[in-house]
Amino acid sequence: MKMPEIVDEHRVHRVCVEGVTVRYVEGRGDIKLTVEGVLPSQTVETIRLDLLAKLQAVENAPIDCIRVTV
Amino acid sequence: MTNPVWTWAVEHRLTAYGLNKAFGGPHSKDAGPCWSFGRYGRTETLLPDGRLIRIGGEYEDWYDPDFYIYNNVIVTDAAGRTEIFGYSDRVFPPTDFHTANLVDDRIIMIGNLSYWFARAEKVQMLMLDTTSYGISRFDTSGEAPPWVFKHSSELVENGRAILVRGGLICGPQWPVTVENIDDWRLDLDTGRWERLTRRPWRRFAFVRADGMPNHLHWLGRLLKDRARAEARTRAVFEPSAFAISVPTRDWICSKRCTRPTYLT
């Protein structure tokens, strides 16, 4: 389910998946995907692959996906 | 480093562009960046005695010939007198988008964006002595945050600790900057960092394998323009719209629509 965009926030999009907010932040050089909570690994993988496939189609170019851990 | 030109620029709050223009100076492409008082990512700390301490900051972006990240301190006292202090890069590296917390007669500077080649693994920690204006490293232990900037830092526990939240983090080898989603506490008595949270959020960054920028911004603009144009087209050519007023060429042009679409 798509969530409403926040005023003064640009190029940030949110969807709600099983009660957890999934946030997409568009940058010029990268797109960041953040799952703001805990979801089953399979669900996260589906979300990740969905974005990867769409970006590769839009860009018509290979896309690298980097897992961010701090 | 106090001098009449920079002091005048401070008093008139001039940017590099404005200062260079005021003096008819050479183009910064040829002469290098002009000094700027107007900056982004600078901190301003007001001391109890009325002194205002402005630290670091940067002017414009990398593509601008006046782009520069500053490593100086501008002090304006309650009477309006200004002094400017400069440092070697070794003592005070170019620093922007940091935070400044006044603790007794010291200002604790946390974080820095800086030039990409100057970034390190861990957060930059410096300390300004407000009596001598000397800057020194603030040595810490424990689990320090990564290289953080554009964050917030809040003095807590009656001034015995600083809480760092939000902002962005990156490292020297990281391909992208990412949000800081965790909270970090610095104990000012012991100088020990403590990581307060370890949020189990799964995060990914997607970049083009060829290193080129993506087209999402451009595509978004195109889709928005198209949607706007379609809405205007409908509004303009609806029979009811004609009944009220027929749009003129000037009106159409003033709406920044794509002229060929509307006038053909």
CATH for B191? 2.120.10.80
Whether residue B200 is contained in a domain is answered as no
pLDDT at B239: 55
Out of B164, B195, B226, a domain closes at B195
Task: State whether B231 and B174 are in the same domain.
Answer: no
Do B204 and A62 make contact, defined as CB atoms within 8 angstroms? no
How many Cα neighbours within 13 Å face the side chain of A37? 12
Of B20, B48, B50, whose CA–CA distance to B36 is shortest?
B20
Query: What is the per-residue pLDDT across B172-187, written as a single tens digit (0 to 9) for each?
Result: 777 788 999 999 999 9
Q: What is the mean pLDDT of residues B96-104?
A: 97
Q: What is the mean pLDDT of residues B102-127?
A: 96
pLDDT less than 50: residues of chain A: none
Contact B185, B162 (CB under 8 A): yes
Q: What is the mean pLDDT of residues B225-251?
A: 62
Whether residue B251 is contained in a domain is answered as yes
Task: State whether B110 and B187 are in the same domain.
Answer: yes
Q: Which domain holds residue B258?
A: 216-263
Q: What angle do CA B73, B76, B79 make, to 5 degrees?
A: 165
Query: How remote is the C-alpha of A20 from its chain's centroid?
Result: 12
Q: What is the mean pLDDT of residues B229-245?
A: 62
| pLDDT at position B261 over 50 | no
Name which of A30, A44, A58 is nearest B207 (Cβ-Cβ): A30
Task: State whether B189 and B225 are in the same domain.
Answer: no
pLDDT at B240: 55
CA of A70, closest CA in chain B: separation in Å? 8
Whether residue B207 is contained in a domain is answered as no
Out of B160, B195, B230, a domain closes at B195
Whether residue B187 is contained in a domain is answered as yes
Contact B155, B164 (CB under 8 A): no
Return residues 9-68 of A near B (CB < 8 Å).
11, 26-39, 44, 48, 51-52, 55, 58-59, 61-68
Task: State whether B143 and B176 are in the same domain.
Answer: yes
pLDDT at B246: 46
Rounded CA-CA distance B168/B70 in Å is 20
pLDDT at B245: 46
Query: How remote is the C-alpha of B208 from its chain's centroid?
Result: 26
3-state DSSP helix/strand/coil % of chain A, to nearest 5 = 25, 35, 35
| pLDDT at position B99 over 70 | yes
Q: What is the mean pLDDT of residues B14-19?
A: 94
Name which of B169, B203, B210 is nearest A61 (Cβ-Cβ): B210
pLDDT at B82: 96
Rounded CA-CA distance B181/B155 in Å is 19
Do B207 and A34 make contact, defined as CB atoms within 8 angstroms? no
Query: With pLDDT > 90 as the criterion, what percentage of chain B qualifies?
Result: 75
Q: What is the CA radius of gyration of chain B?
A: 25
pLDDT at B253: 47
From chain A, the residues in CB contact with B212 under 8 A are 61
Tokens 């920079």 sit on residue = B6
Helix (H, G, I), strand (E, B) or coil at B214: coil
Q: What is the mean pLDDT of residues B9-34?
A: 94
Task: State whether B30 and B135 are in the same domain.
Answer: yes
What residues have CB less than 8 Å from B225, skipping those under 6 apart? Answer: B258
From chain A, the residues in CB contact with B213 under 8 A are 28-29
Q: Where are the alpha helices (DSSP H) in B92-245?
A: 216-237, 239-244
From chain B, the residues in CB contact with A58 under 8 A are 214-216, 219
Q: Where are the alpha helices (DSSP H) in chain B?
A: 4-11, 16-23, 28-31, 216-237, 239-244, 249-254, 259-263
From chain A, the residues in CB contact with B169 under 8 A are 70
Whether residue B211 is contained in a domain is answered as no
How many Cα neighbours within 13 Å face the side chain of B18? 16
Task: State whether B83 and B161 are in the same domain.
Answer: yes
Do A65 and B205 make contact, defined as CB atoms within 8 angstroms? yes
Task: State whether B158 and B61 are in the same domain.
Answer: yes
CA of A28, closest CA in chain B: separation in Å? 5
DSSP E strand stretches across B63-196: 68-69, 72-76, 82-86, 99-103, 106-110, 125-129, 135-137, 141-142, 147-149, 152-156, 161-165, 168-170, 178-179, 184-187, 192-195
Query: What is the per-residue pLDDT across B121-147, written as a single tens digit (0 to 9) for each?
Result: 999 999 999 999 999 999 999 999 999
Tally of domains within chain B:
2
Of B262, B195, B203, whose CA–CA distance to B228 is shortest?
B262
Query: What is the per-residue pLDDT across B193-212, written as a single tens digit (0 to 9) for each?
Result: 999 999 999 999 999 999 89
Query: How remote is the C-alpha of B89 from its chain's centroid?
Result: 19
Return residues 191-250 of B near A (CB < 8 Å).
200-210, 212-217, 219-220
Do B206 and A55 make contact, defined as CB atoms within 8 angstroms? yes
pLDDT at B247: 47
Q: What is the mean pLDDT of residues B159-168?
A: 97
Domain range summary for chain A, segments of one domain joined by +: 2-59
Task: State whether B186 and B233 are in the same domain.
Answer: no
Task: State whether B137 and B259 are in the same domain.
Answer: no
| pLDDT at position B57 over 90 | yes
Do A62 and B146 make contact, defined as CB atoms within 8 angstroms? no
Task: State whether B35 and B66 are in the same domain.
Answer: yes
Do B200 and A38 make contact, defined as CB atoms within 8 angstroms? yes
Do B176 and A70 make contact, defined as CB atoms within 8 angstroms? no
pLDDT at B237: 63
Task: State whether B108 and B229 are in the same domain.
Answer: no
Return residues 77-136 of B near A (CB < 8 Å).
none
pLDDT at B201: 95
Task: State whether B190 and B229 are in the same domain.
Answer: no
pLDDT band of residue B44 (cuts 50, 70, 90) is very high
CA of A20, closest CA in chain B: separation in Å? 10
What order do you get walking across the sheet with B106-110 strand by strand? B99-103, B106-110, B125-129, B135-137
Tokens 């900056």 sit on residue = B39
Contact A22, A34 (CB under 8 A): yes
Do B201 and A29 make contact, defined as CB atoms within 8 angstroms? no
Mean model confidence pLDDT for chain B? 89
pLDDT at B243: 47
